[in-house]
Amino acid sequence: MSDFTELEYKYKADDVKLDDFVKLLETLKPHKRLDISSWDFYYTKGPDEFVRFRKSSDNPELTIKRKVKTSNNWERVEVDIPVDPKRINDSSVNKFLELLDYNINFKIYKSCFIFWLDNVNYVYYIVYDENMKERGRFVEVEVNKDRVNYLNSTENKFTGGKSAEETLKEAAKSLETIGLIPQNRMKKSLFELFVRS
């Protein structure tokens, strides 16, 4: 069953070395790692509505996210629509979103280092503007979307398992060893950081 719940904590990580992050994650024994970079184009309609086009060479997608709480971005509804990398192009995305009253607002380039464990994934990424000027480094820990329903299920609770939110909080504790503590969790999303008004 597909789940559209995004549960994550994001941290500003300009002072965290990539090497320290990688060493920490290797101790957690991830079962998969992916290093990938791509452009993200953000289209807006009004102050809070956006669509992101991730222009990845192998897995491009259109994404809509909506906050569950106005106070932070730790839980959101996220719907990703994969698109065919052989058939997608900028002009068709622009025209499609323009017909839905979305207009391009900004674009960023992200270099990501992603590590997956059974229930969560960790990402270290560097964000660049359209001129490839570094705009910040971030670390995220997120509950894997395909695990949210199970972690919150009666079956999991019956066997003494942790809920998705408890799993996220426990996974975040690992980041404290590299200086990322609960008080440093960001409440703003990348969209909120970079959107042009």
For residue 111, being part of any structural domain is answered with yes
- Model confidence at 1: pLDDT above 80: no
pLDDT above 60 for 18: yes
Residue 82 has pLDDT above 50, yes or no: yes
Letter for the amino acid at 111? S
> Could you tell me the end-to-end alpha-carbon distance of the chain, in angstroms, rounded to an integer?
38
Backbone angles phi, psi at 8, to 5 degrees: -155, 155
Kindly tell me if the per-residue pLDDT of 2 is higher than 80: no
23-27, 43-47, 125-129, 170-174: the lowest-pLDDT one: 43-47
Task: Provide the number of structural domains found in the chain.
Answer: 1
Mean per-residue pLDDT, 103-118: 97
Domain extent, residue 96, equals: 5-192
Taking a C-beta distance cutoff of 8 angstroms, is the pair 167, 5 a contact?
no
CA dist 26 and 87 (Å) reads: 37
Does the residue 115 lie in any domain?
yes
What pLDDT digit, counting tens, does each position of 66-80 carry? 998 888 889 999 999
Q: Kindly report, residue by residue over 20-61, the tens digit of the pLDDT.
A: 999 999 999 999 999 999 999 999 998 889 999 999 988 999
pLDDT of residue 131 exceeding 60: yes
Rounded average pLDDT over 164-191: 96
The CATH number linked to 74 is 2.40.320.10
The pLDDT of 6-19, averaged and rounded, is: 97
Three-state secondary structure of 96-154: HHHHCCCEEEEEEEEEEEEEECCCEEEEEEEEECCCCCEEEEEEEEEECHHHHHHHCCH
- Collapsing DSSP to helix, strand or coil, 194 comes out as helix
Q: Report the chain's mean pLDDT, rounded to a whole number.
A: 95
pLDDT of residue 83 exceeding 80: yes
Q: Is the pLDDT of residue 197 over 90?
A: no
pLDDT of residue 155: 93
- The pLDDT assigned to 149 comes to 93
**Range 11-23 average pLDDT:** 98
